Amino acid sequence: MINKFAHSNYHTICDELASADPELAEIINSHGYPPLWSRPNTFETLVHIILEQQVSLASALSALNKLKEHVQEITPARILLLTDEEMKACYCSRQKTSYIKYLAEAIISGQLSLTELEQLSGEEVRAKLVALKGIGNWTADVYLMFVLQHPDIFPAGDLAAVNALKRVKNFPADTTKEQILQIAETWQPYRTIATMLLWHFYLSSPKR
């Protein structure tokens, strides 16, 4: 059984992290506990995460809502009925259209079962997801954190998390990925929750 976090133990884990890391403690002192961000294990959720790749959250949500307007319910079968032009009218780039349709085909063919992913280890989930066109480590990280509630993921490719870490630790802009990962390792086995604290700081603090 995969170890997960939930509302019942979320604040306790935040407090445990804060007791060992004064900068994380300061985030809670200044901004309170972060929300427990979560999403359902659905095709629509994975489409949403793909849309979020390398764009603002607002842009991705706008595209997702436009798709919903168009098909009412975002399912693999309904997505595959859309032409590329219809996808473009829903603010989906040509590249992301191909990723989303590839994902839809993988689910319909049985190549990917979202329900089965719930029983796999993080490494197994990642391997199955990154085998699909258009899904890399960042998308797999977000899925593991938000959907499956795996507690020990640090998304090294997430600019908001990395930049927040640099700010709270007062690190220079040219801090290396290796140095970032070394800090993140000190938050094991709760790197996911530490990342949620960093996102909370990023969203709550005035941008420099």
Separation of alpha carbons 76 and 10, rounded Å = 33
181 contact partners, CB below 8 Å, separation of at least 6: 154, 156
> What confidence score (pLDDT) does residue 1 get?
41
Q: 3-state class of 66 per DSSP? A: helix
Taken in order of first residue, the domains within the chain and their CATH numbers are 7-37+153-204 (1.10.1670.40), 43-147 (1.10.340.30)
> What confidence score (pLDDT) does residue 117 get?
97
Separation of alpha carbons 120 and 139, rounded Å = 17
> What confidence score (pLDDT) does residue 3 get?
72
Residue with token string 């870490």: 165
Report percent pLDDT > 70 for the chain: 98
What pLDDT digit, counting tens, does each position of 98-140 carry?
A: 999 999 999 999 999 999 999 999 999 999 999 999 999 999 9
> What confidence score (pLDDT) does residue 207 get?
64
What are the φ and ψ backbone dihedral angles of 140, each rounded to 5 degrees?
A: -65, -40
Per-chain mean pLDDT for the chain: 95
